Structure formats: structure tokens, C-alpha cells
Amino acid sequence: MDEQGGGPRRRRRSDAVRAEAPGPVPRRPVGGVLALLGEGPPFGPTRPGFWRSPLRGPRLTSLLGAVLLVGVPVLFVTGLLSYAAYNPDLASNDMTPDKGVLGFYLFPWPTDPPWLYRLTQGVHVTLGITLVPVLLAKLWSVVPLLFRWPPVRSLAHALERLSVLFLVGGALFVFATGVLNVQLEYVFPGSFYPLHFYGAWVFVSGLVAHVALKLPTMVRALRGRGPGRGPGDASGRGRADDGLVAPDPAPETASRRTLLGAVGLGSLALLLTTVGQSLGGPLRRTAVLAPHGRLPADGADGFPVNTTAAYAGVTDADTGPGWRLTVRNGDREVVLTREELLALPRYRSALPIACVEGWSTRDLDWEGVRLSDLAALVGAAGPPGVLVESAQRSGAFASAALRGNQVADPRSLLALRVNGEDLSPDHGYPARVIVPANPGVHNTKWVTRLGFGEV
């Protein structure tokens, strides 16, 4: 390895200063601090000779970048849609009260098509997990730039590096929080939603700046012209002046094609061990990397359980014969037993459950009382939105607000039965909400109270 690093350059600079010594004290050029940094001694990974993989170069980086350039916008859009699906402008649903202008695009989440959230969130989680190897390979391909000396060469360069900080920091943060949320529960200080939401905006603003700066280089490298494949460089590794190509490469032990193949295989493996949680059926068992999207050991009602009654602190006393449903609209209040609910007109809806974690079910056969009928029971015309409360005493999922269009949809039920049987305790017995296209988390289980107009 090149132990001399930037030695000669440093010597030359001090010579220049000495030559001027007899005259007036030399003024540093614009950006004295920047110049000072430039005189720092390259050491360790800041030496150009430190990074020696012959695979790095504009073409590898551009190929990986192109994949991310297609994938990340899909992740961003489906992520924003997921946020909109929570109807956060209903105050009781808002997990990011400081979102400010970042909520500019919010719109009332529709109930059609009923599989909408199943699709958008399935794509979001599956694609995010699948892209992890591509992201890591992309970061590996540019890591020498992180240590390039001098760290800052000009104001423009400083701004570019700041955008890269947003980009890389944001990307690592968003991917890490996303994966952790799917794999574990409640590992976050506060809530996952604001972290992931704000992180995504930081990531994407860095990405926009980065693409604006790098797109021409990427296109040139992919077309096989420019620094990507200069004359006399049939390898496509590019000329050594872009900071990606090792000036002193180690002997090649694997080709760039092998590296790309390994990344692709890694992504494929992640895809195949994740996507079953969204496709369901026999494939659900293949979702070994999606712990919550698999069937519980007892196979309760044949579909996954998000939170068990025990975990939610809901006891038999809460849901036994003493259970009552309170339906309220202003001063009007009706209290019903489960028998009285069962005696109301009952309807059936074929609807899936689709969790923010990406898992979802086929259409299940729900049976229960229409939310719009319960609104009418207490004279709530419109109908207005409703605040749904459960027997669960704490936690963000103990209650959720639904919008008027969700209450009005004739397929929206306070479900009492599923797939021909009474709800199991873990699926929300005695009564739970099911609304088309609703994120799973708002299909509240163990419902005890419906407050119409209280959103």
C-alpha cells in the first residue's frame, strides 16, 4: 500500500510558503479554513491507496444507483400513502403532530378498492426489504468518497457533501427503522411513525439534490461513455479521477458481474422469504423473515394475530358476559349486550386485513352490524366520523378514529363473527371493526364504545 499518501503534496505547499517568507505575511486564499483542512495529512482510509477493490467504479455505482432510483420513489410514494391511510388529520389519529407542511398532500382515504392498502403497504414493505442488499452494495461502492481528502474543497463541494449526509444518513435510518418495525415491536423511544416519516423526508430531500448533481454522470456511465468507459479502458472501471476507481487496485478475485449477481441473489432471497406474508395462502409459511405475518401456532381462525388479548391486557372479565357496547352521539346513548347486537340486522363483507408491517390476508368472511346502522341507531346523520374505543387500557391502538366515508360504506362492520364462527378472543371478541381498505391498525379489536361525531 502507498504509505506516502499525500506526502509530496504537503511538502510542496510548505515549500511555497517558505519561498514567500521574506515578503509581507502571505494571505491565505479564499476559505482559509478549507485550505487548512486541505493541508491535513492523509492517513488511514483518507489515503487514496487505502481502497483497493478493482470492482469499484462509476459503472458499478451507476447500475446500483439506477435500481435505487426506480425503487426508492416507489417506497416514498407508498410510504406517503400509508401515512395518508391513517387519516392523521383526524386529531385522535395523528402520530406526528409537528408534521406542519409535510402533511400538505393528505386526503381522505377511500374505501375502494378494498384491497388498496393491502397492495400499497405490501409493496412498500416487500420492496423495502428486497432493496436492502442493493442499498448496502451502493454504499460500499462509494465508501472511498466518504474519506476523500480534503474533506471539503469549496462551498459547492460542502453543499454536495451535506446533501450526501442527508442521503446516506436518511437512507440508513429509514431502512433500519422500517426493518426493525417489521421484525420487532415497540423498540422505539416514542413512536415509530414520526421517526420513519421525518426520516423519509430527510432521505428524499438528500436524494433529490444528489440526483440533480449526479444524473448526468450516471447516464454517461450507463451508456458506456464518459468516465464510465473511457477510451483504452475496456473494463468499464473508468478513469482514476472520479474518486471511485482504486488508483492502486488489488488483483481481481471476482468480477463486477459476480458482485452484481450476489446482490441480486441476496435481494431475491429476501423477496422470497418475505412476500408470502402479503400473498397469503400456502405461501404464508415461506415468510420466514416476516415474524408477524405468519399464522400463530394455534392458527386462530386461520389468519394471523397482530396483538393477542393477553398482550393487550384485555381480560376475560372485559369481554365476558359483563361486556357492553356503548353507542353515543352527543346526548343520545344506547348500550347494547352482545345478544342485542346479534339481534340487529346482520350483514356479511368479504374483506382483508392489511397491516402496516406488510402482512395481509385474503378476503375473510366477516359478519356483523353495519357501522352506518349503529350511527342511525343514535340519530347520527351524515354519517359523521366515529371515535372507536376498545377494552384495551393503554397503547396507541386502544382507540382509532374513522372518517364519515368509512362509516358510510355498507361493507364497514362492527364484526361479531368471521369465517362462519364467533370471533376468537385474539381476533377481537366480542366485537371488532372491519372497514374496506383500512390499515389493519384501525380495525380496532375488543370494541367497547363508538362515539359518533367525536373525531
Ligand X SMILES: Nc1nc2c(c(=O)[nH]1)N[C@H]1C(S)=C(S)[C@@H](COP(=O)(O)O)O[C@H]1N2
Decide: is 307 part of the binding site for ligand X (CB under 6 A): yes
Nearer to Mo ion, 117 or 203 (CB): 117
**Cα distance between residue 404 and residue 384, in whole Å:** 5
Query: Looking at 212-346, which runs of residues are DSSP E strands?
Result: 325-329, 332-336
Nearer to ligand X, 253 or 394 (CB): 394
From the list ligand X, Mo ion, none, pick the one residue 444 interacts with, judged by a Cβ distance below 5 to 8 Å according to partner type. ligand X
Mask for 225-254, x = binds Mo ion (CB under 5 A) = ------------------------------
Decide: is 304 part of the binding site for ligand X (CB under 6 A): yes
Min CB(292)–Mo ion separation in Å: 8
Residue nearest to ligand X (CB): 440
**Cα distance between residue 398 and residue 266, in whole Å:** 38
CA geometry: angle 308, 310, 313, nearest 5 deg:
110
Nearer to ligand X, 34 or 312 (CB): 312
Q: Using CB under 6 A, count the residues that bind ligand X.
A: 20
Nearer to Mo ion, 359 or 452 (CB): 359
Q: Which of 80, 137, 355, 369 binds Mo ion (CB under 5 A)?
A: 355
User: How do strand 413-418 and strand 421-422 relate by DSSP bridges?
Assistant: antiparallel
Decide: is 441 part of the binding site for Mo ion (CB under 5 A): yes
Min CB(443)–Mo ion separation in Å: 9
Query: Of residues 393-422, which lie at the interface with ligand X (CB under 6 A)?
Result: 397-398
Decide: is 440 part of the binding site for Mo ion (CB under 5 A): yes
Min CB(125)–ligand X separation in Å: 12
Nearer to ligand X, 111 or 307 (CB): 307
Decide: is 349 part of the binding site for ligand X (CB under 6 A): no
**Cα distance between residue 400 and residue 90, in whole Å:** 9
Q: Which of 87, 126, 278, 444 binds ligand X (CB under 6 A)?
A: 444
Decide: is 278 part of the binding site for ligand X (CB under 6 A): no
Closest CA to 192 of 48, 339, 355: 355
What's the residue count for the chain? Answer: 455
Nearer to Mo ion, 242 or 389 (CB): 389
Residue 216, CA distances (Å) to 58, 108, 210, 412, 422 in order: 12, 39, 11, 50, 61
List all residues 6 or more positions away from 386 whose beta carbon is below 8 Å from its beta carbon.
371, 375, 380, 401, 402, 407, 450, 451, 452, 453, 454, 455
Ramachandran angles phi, psi of 414, nearest 5°: -90, 100
Nearer to ligand X, 304 or 430 (CB): 304
Min CB(182)–ligand X separation in Å: 12
Decide: is 446 part of the binding site for ligand X (CB under 6 A): yes
Q: Classify residue 281 by its DSSP letter.
A: G
Decide: is 353 part of the binding site for ligand X (CB under 6 A): yes
**Cα distance between residue 168 and residue 175, in whole Å:** 11
Min CB(401)–Mo ion separation in Å: 16
- Cα four-point dihedral sign 372, 80, 197, 179: positive
Residue 234, helix vs strand vs coil = coil
Q: Are the beta carbons of 431 and 324 closer than 8 angstroms?
A: no
Q: Which of 168, 443, 448, 450 binds ligand X (CB under 6 A)?
A: 443
Ramachandran angles phi, psi of 308, nearest 5°: -75, 160
Q: Which of 80, 131, 275, 312 binds ligand X (CB under 6 A)?
A: 312
Residue 253, helix vs strand vs coil = coil
Q: Are the beta carbons of 116 and 435 closer than 8 angstroms?
A: no
From the list ligand X, Mo ion, none, pick the one residue 392 interacts with, judged by a Cβ distance below 5 to 8 Å according to partner type. ligand X
Nearer to Mo ion, 277 or 372 (CB): 277
Q: Which residues bind Mo ion (CB under 5 A)?
A: 306, 355, 440-441
Q: Which residues bind ligand X (CB under 6 A)?
A: 303-307, 312, 353, 355, 390, 392, 397-398, 427-428, 440-441, 443-446
